[in-house]
Amino acid sequence: MSLSPAIRFVLVGTQHPGNMGSAARAMRTMGFTRMVLVAPEKAPNHETDAMAAGAESLVREAPVFASLAEAVADCGLVLGCTARSRRVALEELAPPLAAERALSAAAKGREVALVFGRERTGLTNEELQLCHAAIHIPSDPDFSSLNLAAAVQVIAYAVRMGQLMHGTGVVGTSIQDAENETDPPASHQDLEGFFGQLDATLHAIDFHKGRAPESAMRKLRRIFLRNALSIKEVRLLRGVLADAQRMAMLAGKQV
């Protein structure tokens, strides 16, 4: 199940109607549909539709609030995007880490808000105070401010990548927990059983050919340990080894 419905993109005090449309398009391309508006300076208009390029329903259906506090009242995690790095007394996250936080909160059933400020002045300090952390896209410090919709695109992409990299996750548990429920990680004991069988198989197929087996085993262990195998994956690998062992035995009988 997708976590995207738990994540809303909040545009605060947007000044250009076209930007609402561009932001909607940016969201929609990354699989997000929940836009929330806070006191837009101008109502959405034909420029909005032109820039939305088919995603205008996100703006049309967006709830409009008078203040950010109202727009995020039901949220368990609020992250405020700011072009001004390190000038806020908030923890500052780069987009990948922010995406991870957002997805893990959404997986726990919390509502998540990603908040974007005004084109000219960004978010006020009071608005940032409502956020649990700030997100800063690490832009060139001498030219740090992205266009509003470009910032929405970068953040939406980061969250989408987070989702794709972790699988979609299931609402109600963290992404990691959700994965673990269906495919828990292999224990130390599972892995040692696998390595024992791998060692035996390498002997059976005469992989070492007189060389000391330790060096190859050390490298092979490193490969498998690096990949944090699950129980199911270890089972699959052991199935492959079992067949290799069987074939080696058959071949041994033939000679």
Q: Rule CB under 6 A: which residues touch ligand SAH?
A: 81-84, 116-117, 119, 121-123, 135-137, 139, 144-146, 148, 151
Residue among 107 and 135 whose Cβ is closer to ligand SAH: 135
Q: How far apart are CA 106 and CA 175, in angstroms?
A: 9
d(CA 166, CA 160): 10
Nearer to ligand SAH, 154 or 191 (CB): 154
Give the nearest distance from C-beta 76 to ligand SAH in angstroms: 20
Please, is 112 exposed, middle or buried when counting C-beta atoms within 10 Å of its C-beta (0-12, 13-18, 19+)? buried
Using the minimum distance from each CB to ligand SAH, give the nearer residue, 12 or 178.
12
Rounded to a whole number of angstroms, the minimum distance from the CB of residue 208 to ligand SAH is 55
3-state SS class at 194? helix
* Distance, CA of 88 to CA of 82 (rounded, Å): 9
Q: What is the spatial distance between Cα 130 and Cα 117, in angstroms, rounded to a whole number?
A: 13
State in angstroms the smallest separation of the CB of 159 from ligand SAH: 14
Residue nearest to ligand SAH (CB): 122
- Cβ-based nearer residue to ligand SAH, 67 or 139: 139
Q: CA–CA separation, 194 vs 7, rounded Å?
A: 41
In angstroms, give the least distance from the CB of 107 to ligand SAH.
24
- The answer to whether 58 touches 27, Cβ cutoff 8 Å, is yes
Shortest Cβ 86–ligand SAH spacing (Å): 12
Give the integer Cα–Cα distance in Å for 237 and 249: 18
Nearer to ligand SAH, 116 or 194 (CB): 116
Based on C-alpha coordinates, what's the Rg of the chain?
26
With respect to ligand SAH, which residue has the nearer C-beta, 107 or 152? Answer: 152
The distance of Cα 117 from the centroid of its chain, to the nearest Å, equals 22
Phi–psi pair at 208, nearest 5 degrees: -75, -30
**Distance in Å, CB of 54 to ligand SAH, minimum:** 23
> How near is the Cβ of 83 to ligand SAH at its closest, in Å?
3
C-beta separation of 75 from 113 below 8 A: yes
Q: Select 18 or 122, whichever has its Cβ closest to ligand SAH.
A: 122
